[in-house]
A and B are shown apart, each in its own frame.
Chain A
Amino acid sequence: MRKTTFIQAINEALREEMRRDERVFLIGEDIGYYGGLFRVTRNLLEEFGERRVIDTPISEQGFMGMAIGAAMVGLRPVVELMYMDFYLVCADQIFNQAAKMHYMTGGLLHVPMVIRGQQGGGKRYGSQHSSCVESTFAQFPGIKVVAPATPYDAKGLLISAIRDDNPVLFLEHKMLYFTRGDLPDEGVEYTVPIGKADVKREGKDLTIATFSYTLLQALEAAEELKAEHGIDVEVVDLRSVTPLDMETVYTSVAKTGRLLAVHESQANAGIGAEIVARIYEEAPYLLAAPARRLGMAPASIPVSKVLEEELLPWKNDIKATVLSMLK
């Protein structure tokens, strides 16, 4: 074991999978010679060459579509979107093409590819470079969505995503990039399964189900709630948004009787609403009090530090919501 950054974990997953499997290649803007705007793909061009690390023009529809075509004939592209907000520029290729291809061809074609990149607020990038996109993607069957919060999960889940036979959206929150965590030594192979949640903190009073950067915020909130109010929160890291591991959530709520779903994309019609709806449909008898969700207010992300902080559903909002649920 050793400590690495989130960025390093992703870089290692790419490198190891490219060494293991000739079919894996990378495509995106500034990823080769520059090594990626956030340095996630650094040194990969040097090892794998221009044939497998492809710098593109600013043509998201074009290279997303080409990656889909390459995947349809058996390669395993990993596409970097520089900012996740740009998925809207190539939304047809992602949703009408990649996500629907297997179904509308009656299973004759499939699209084994990964779309990865960074998202989220906290760095004052403003409305078009800070969105969290998981809730939108969750509306589309045919594509899986994963959003890890630790370097260990990031590496293990990215390897699983590359090996998956379906399109997988791999979300990296920009606030996570320089966080550090334990990682098995380089070359020690492990994977983290897609669609499997992980209890990151045990507790008995209330369950928070979350993922990505709000997981770290929830863990901090939990520590403070314990110290300040003696409240013991259990934190479930969903890790995948599609498919959702509701079983792990139910096991936790069976113990705590309370559920709060937290995410950074907006609350309205978001994945938290889905999680809450699911427990009311499938296991309402577990709840001792109404389940709730917490997400962004219906606004775009502003640049000003104070305005951005006001809107992001981070630690203080999580604490306040938990307290109101336990009143």
Chain B
Amino acid sequence: MTEPSLKASVPSAKAAVAEPTAVLSTEQLLPMYRMMFLIRRVEESLLELAESGKIGGAMHTAIGHEAAAVGMAAALRKEDYLTCTYRGHHHSLARGMDPKRAICEVLGKAPGFAKGKGGSMHFVDPSLGLMGANGIVGAQVPHAAGMALAAKIRGEDRIAITFFGDGAMYQGVMHETFNMAQKWKLPVIFYCENNRYSEMTPISRTSSVSDLYLFVRAYGMESMQIDGNDVEVVYDAITKAAARARAGEGPTFIEGITYRLAGHMAGDLETYRTPEEIEMQRAYEPLARLHQKLLDRGVSEEELNKIRAEVEEEVQEAVDYALEAPWPDIAEAYTDVYKV
């Protein structure tokens, strides 16, 4: 069915070309387009802020990864738990995080959701089911399985999803978690955003397995490889996996093939790939794909322009707000060590 490849020179769209793509109505897709564009513009704005020296540390953007987050948000319920990686702005925004609070957090400003203590790598908001983005590769994956275990212990109709990269597949904790999740039929979805690079190293240079979705087959887990850049395909796969999880049929592993259009992190020199490779991948990136899909379905360019203009305004407002926002009270440095 698929002709998968770990090589970044293979277009992302090549995976799972046979999957159904017309599962959502135009009315459903329009807000998804809006969200995808919002994520894109927030990320681009953050990169600009980083370039101007306003953001310290490591900031990883999800430019090119938007379909995974937007498809997920449409497929799951708000009360479903989510954990993800340091590359987690897109999941949080798609679940409804206010861009103002998000940008404030990245800048270390007081109105940030974690008062500036977490920053770019630790996006979180339990009221949106966002149970933590993690700076340690793979560490958030057992957390999601534990949340699924909690739902099972309590008898709740709630599932968990966790996002991780291709590089995380080589962490031992992942396999410990896969085994237990399958053995205990936990209601959890493992979503691998395979952008085919771990930091600056293509996984084809380090992996002895060429198709990541095959790893979990040894545990007896349902798994598939999909075109992670087609939001409808992502939506469809997660919807089906969620139904399995809710029905007590256990976990599903989804490998969504994607491509990171920006550097691994702000300031990445990108000496490890050619401009031609990036250019070739632009034809398959999720925002352009959805744009074309909507035009094909008869939505006018004017309507899409209008949506984009609104988003531009919202994001600019959020950036201005964050730049003006106050720093946290220095007393905050000492709080939240223990819950009292």
Closest B-chain residue to A64, C-beta based?
A: B142
Please report which residues of chain A, range 50-92, place their CB below 8 angstroms from some CB of chain B when the two chains form the complex. 51-52, 56-57, 59, 61-75, 92
Please report which residues of chain A, range 91-119, place their CB below 8 angstroms from some CB of chain B when the two chains form the complex. 92-93, 96-97, 101-110, 112
Bound state CA distance, A67 and B12, in angstroms? Answer: 36
Determine whether the beta carbon of B150 is less than 8 Å from that of A73.
yes
A141 near B: Cβ within 8 Å?
yes
Contact pattern, B 150-181, Cβ under 8 Å of A = 1, otherwise 0: 11111000001000000000001100110110
Closest B-chain residue to A71, C-beta based?
A: B146
CB distance from B334 to the nearest CB of A (A): 10
A165 near B: Cβ within 8 Å?
yes
Contact pattern, A 214-225, Cβ under 8 Å of B = 1, otherwise 0: 000000000000
B177 contacts across to A, CB distance below 8 A = 59, 62, 65-66
A166 near B: Cβ within 8 Å?
yes
Closest A-chain residue to B174, C-beta based?
A: A62
CB distance from A314 to the nearest CB of B (A): 33
Closest A-chain residue to B338, C-beta based?
A: A166
A103-B337, A106-B118, A165-B339 known; A92 and B139 CB under 8 Å?
yes
Closest B-chain residue to A58, C-beta based?
A: B176
CB distance from A174 to the nearest CB of B (A): 26
A73 contacts across to B, CB distance below 8 A = 81, 131, 146-147, 150-151
CB distance from A66 to the nearest CB of B (A): 3
* Selected interface stretch from B3-11, B119-127, B207-215: B119-127
B296 contacts across to A, CB distance below 8 A = none
CB distance from B272 to the nearest CB of A (A): 27
Determine whether the beta carbon of A69 is less than 8 Å from that of B83.
yes
Closest A-chain residue to B105, C-beta based?
A: A106
CB distance from B175 to the nearest CB of A (A): 8
A152 near B: Cβ within 8 Å?
no
Determine whether the beta carbon of A107 is less than 8 Å from that of B336.
yes
A108-B124, A109-B126 known; A62 and B173 CB under 8 Å?
yes
A144 near B: Cβ within 8 Å?
yes
A69 contacts across to B, CB distance below 8 A = 83, 131, 142-147, 149-150, 160
Determine whether the beta carbon of A104 is less than 8 Å from that of B118.
yes
Determine whether the beta carbon of B146 is less than 8 Å from that of A68.
yes
Bound state CA distance, A66 and B340, in angstroms? Answer: 24
Please report which residues of chain B, range 297-340, place their CB below 8 angstroms from some CB of chain A when the two chains form the complex. 332, 335-340
Determine whether the beta carbon of A105 is less than 8 Å from that of B118.
yes
Determine whether the beta carbon of A106 is less than 8 Å from that of B146.
no
A211 contacts across to B, CB distance below 8 A = none
Determine whether the beta carbon of A65 is less than 8 Å from that of B146.
yes
Residues of B at the A interface (CB closer than 8 Å) are 81, 83, 112-118, 122, 124-126, 131-132, 134-136, 139, 141-147, 149-154, 160, 172-173, 176-177, 179-180, 183, 332, 335-340
24 cross-chain CB contacts under 8 A: A25-B153, A51-B152, A57-B183, A59-B179, A62-B179, A62-B180, A65-B139, A65-B173, A66-B142, A66-B149, A69-B83, A69-B149, A69-B150, A70-B147, A73-B150, A75-B150, A75-B154, A104-B122, A106-B117, A106-B336, A107-B336, A108-B125, A165-B340, A166-B339
